[in-house]
Structure formats: C-alpha cells, structure tokens
Structure 1
Amino acid sequence: MSSTLVSPGQAQWSRWSTDMHLLVTRPAALAEARAVVDAELDAVEIAASRFRPDSEICALAAADGARTPVSPVLADLLEAALAAASLTDGDVDPTVGSALIALGYDRDIDQLDPAHPRVASVSIRSDWSMVEFDGRSVRLPAGVLLDLGATAKAVAADRGAKLVYERTGSGVLVNLGGDVATVGPTPEGGWRVLVQDTDDDPASHVVLGDGAGLATSSTCRRRWWRDGDIVHHIIDPRTGQSADPVWRSVSIAASNCLAANTISTAAIIRGRRAPDWVAALGVPARFVDRAGEVRIQGGWPQT
C-alpha cells in the first residue's frame, strides 16, 4: 500500500475494502474533486464488480455465450485489461474470475474469514484470447467470468485524477489502495509518498511529479485459508492457483497507474524471473522478498 505524506488539501475514506486518499493542491477544489472521484468509482463498480449481481460483469457471465453490448466505461476497462494481457503475454489475464471463485474468493474480501478454511471448487479454464471484444460489445464463452481487479482500480485512479484536473484546474493525487495517479501542478518539492505494504514491511519514501503512476502488488494482503493452505488473490492463469509468493510485494513507478499496476501484478506472477523482465522494460521497481529484503532497480525514485 502507498500513502501520501504531503497534504495541501485531502480526503480519506474506505471503499472496495481498501483505503482511498485524495489530495489536491487547491484546497478549495477538494469537495468537487471528491465528487468527481466518487462518481468515477460508482461507474467502475456498476460496470465491473464481481460482487454486485446488477453489474455488467455479472450480466456478461449470465449471457451464456451471447454477444452483449457494453457501456463506454466497461469498454474502456476491457480495453485496458486486454492491453495488459497482451503486454504481459497473458500473465495478467481478465478471465480468472472462476479461478478466484474456486479458491474461495466469492465475495468481498471483508466478508471472508481469513482464519476459516474455504473448500475448493472446480474452475473453468479460460484465457484472455477467448474474449471477443470489438470496442462496443463482447462475447465470452459460456461459463467464463471476467475479473478486472488487476487493472480496473488503476484505470479508476488514472481517470479520476485526469477528470479532477480537467474539472478544477487543481493539481491532484489519487490513491486507491496503493494505486496512485497524479495530474497537474504538484506541491513544492513534489508529491511525497510512503510506499509500505504492511506495517512490518520495510518502508520507502518517494517523490512523484506531474503525470506519474505508482502501484504496489502484494501477496500479503487479500489472503485467506483454502484446504489448509493460505492463498492470495493474484492468480497465475496458467495454473489457476495463487502465484508463488516469491515476493511479498512489488512496486512499480510508471507514466500512469495502469502501466504500473500491470507490471507489478505480472512481476508477482513471474516470480524469480521478474527482475530481469522489469529491467528490460526500463521502469523503476522495488521488490520485497519473502524474508523482507529489498531490491530496487531502474532508478527507483526514493528520497
């Protein structure tokens, strides 16, 4: 998780079982900025929540293979998810919904008892190539359930920050549970951000400028018991199981939050191969391994 340290005007609240944090350089713009971000979160939720029976994602799952029109919001989210899948050679796959359910993640994480074992169920094997999307409608094979959790929150952070700047003219930082996006003028010295996944993890302080994205993917949050084992929410689509927790967390800085989140999620899935892959992409990265040892590369912007 990432949290900001500089707060010229700020709001904090909880949603989607995580902490939300909004900062603006013009405090007078805060109320309007919060309304803009809330509206964006509402739109993303009704489009892409697995836990709302009235969401578009659930409607697609019930379409039994029929081609279905989608809203502009879901179209943007699908485009982002499929781009992430392409960039990562399928490591970040939007069709892992049934695998998550099979692992027991069938309701909001706040409603799961992490100490109570879940019983495994059968997962329908699928991959992102099965998604037929033409920009306005989508067809999924019967039984395939989308899960856009790896990208939708990052898209919401990017879109929310952009909209706040366009509507108010204020510099803004949007932090949606560690998915961070900035747009517009910054406070003096930049946006200072604390990067720390859990309270007992090593911390890093970074400075972000205008048009920055930052994301942390974690194997230590969103965990629960299943068949006697602790599992987490980042799925290796090739196995349908939680990715091997080689890394406690991976943090990536990029030009937008979607790119940062895509790479950090894929890095968790790639495990020991991740540092070389991320280095080839040329983005700043911070890896925290099982033992809590930190590895930084690519010009990680720590202060």
Structure 2
Amino acid sequence: MASVHFSRALLAPRHWLTWVGVGVWFLVAQLPYRLQLAMARGLSPLLRKNKKRLHQAQTNLRLCFPELSDAEREILLKETLFSTAMAVFETGIAWFWPKSRLRRLFTITGVEHVEQARAEGQGALLLSLHFTTLDIGSAMLGQHVNYDGMYRPHANAVYDYLQKTRREAYCKGGMAFSRDNVRAMVSQLRKGRMIWYAPDRDLGEKMSVFVPFFGVQTATVTATGQFARMGRAKIIPFTQRRLDDGSGYAVTIHPPFENYPTGDDIADARRVNEFMEQEILKCPGQYFWAQPRFKTRPEGEPSVY
C-alpha cells in the first residue's frame, strides 16, 4: 500500500507527450473557475464524436427515464455531456489547486457522522457513486475527513503515477490502493480507517446480483455488504453536487445506513441502489451516464447496447 514514487523511467521519451499534456492541464486548471465552466460548456458538443460513449449515455437515459419525452431526454443528455466535459477541468482543480483556494469553492455538512464513527473506534466505507464530480468531491471531502481510497490503475504510467499521488494528497496520510486489493481494504477498516468506495460499476455476473436500478434489472456488486461485514465497518454515504448558479459545490455526508448489512445480498444491494437513485435524481445531469452500466444482462435478455 506504499505510495508510488517518481522514477526516471517516467521521463523516457515515450512519456514526453503525456508530460506536455499534464503541463497544459495544470495551466488550464489555474484559470478562474467560472471561465473553466464556460470552456466546458463550449467544448461539450465535441463529446458527441465519441459515438460509443454517446450511444451508452443515450441508451442509459432512455432506460432509466422512460417517462421523459425525447426532447426532455435530449436536454438531460446535453447536461450530461457538459458535466462530462467539466469533469476534466474539475479533476485538474482537484489535483492542482492549493487547498486554501479549493476551500472557497464548497460547503460541507454531515461531518459529525464520520466523527461519531471515529469516536467509537469504528471504520466506515464512505459510499460514493460515479458522478462526474467524483474527483473534485473527493478532494473537498479530504479537507474535513481523513480517509483512504480505492482506484483503478491506469495503463499510462505517467497518468497512473499522477492519479495515485494526487488522490493520496487529498488528505494527510491518505493511501490509494488498487480496487482489487481486498485484503488492504478490510485491514484498514478493522483499524478504524475510513475508505472511499464507489460500487456502481458493472463488474460482471460473477460478483453481482440482479436488482433494480431505475427500474432496470442491473448487475450490482455484493461487495459493499461483504466489506462492511468483514471490516466490521459502517456504511456512511457521501455525495457532492455542482451548484446551478456556478458558485461551487455542496458536499453532503449522509447518516450511516442502519441495520446494514442484513446478510441478504439482494436486499443489501437493493439498499445501495435505492440510495443512489435518490441522490442521482437531485442532479441527474451530473451522473456519469456514458458508461455500460447495463452491460451484463440476466440470462436470456439481449444486450441493450
């Protein structure tokens, strides 16, 4: 679980273009926040060129919001594309802004729920979900909560180094370890640590049960309840929302789940999906719809994509 360290191999010529891109990203991140919002709004139509992601987003919105008209779903799609474009700028803010500047951009409520768990000497899974604001929300959370996190290693060595080290910098002493490192997660939970965890990805039928998500039978991982049980930990959800007036963000730490896990994988998975549904409905355009959330289908059902 030790932090990765910079090595001379990262300066090899094959990585030079990536470093140039990182430099540009850093400079853009220093621009005024509202200018970055405007740039994201202007660039978002370009995301329509990624036909695969566009189709996934359109399909997911059609399945999850069948009550909306085509025109209403198109408005929601435009907001989704904007939020997806803004995620690049928000990640730059999360990685490259000093903490003092970031503090001026958000408010946070519910910290007492984490403090209560800490006072009881109990670890917790900080249940998150894949809003496009994922990285900036985690950085803002780190200003008030000391936690570790899980991440997906990247094939690009420079990007992998940056995402791990920058995410570990969100809070003092924080560690980021591979999402496959179950032993590390359980060990940290039993030590009373807080662990960032977002289970809303399709990881296949082997690791999941099918429960509704916006009315669609969805492969939902059972690991949330299993980790809570093995780590003797609470489930404390948190979310973040980009404010409509462009002034910043509201971060909310929610009360812990009660009577969780129950030992019933289906009931526990449904509980997680219900929470996610209610939070997504507060800002549906900020959820990352351009993912194959419904790739795994129940036996006999055709692919939706």
TM-score between both structures, scaled by the size of structure 2: 0.32
Structure showing greater radius of gyration is 2
Structure (1/2) with the larger helix percentage: 2
Structure (1/2) with the larger strand percentage: 1
TM-score between both structures, scaled by the size of structure 1: 0.32
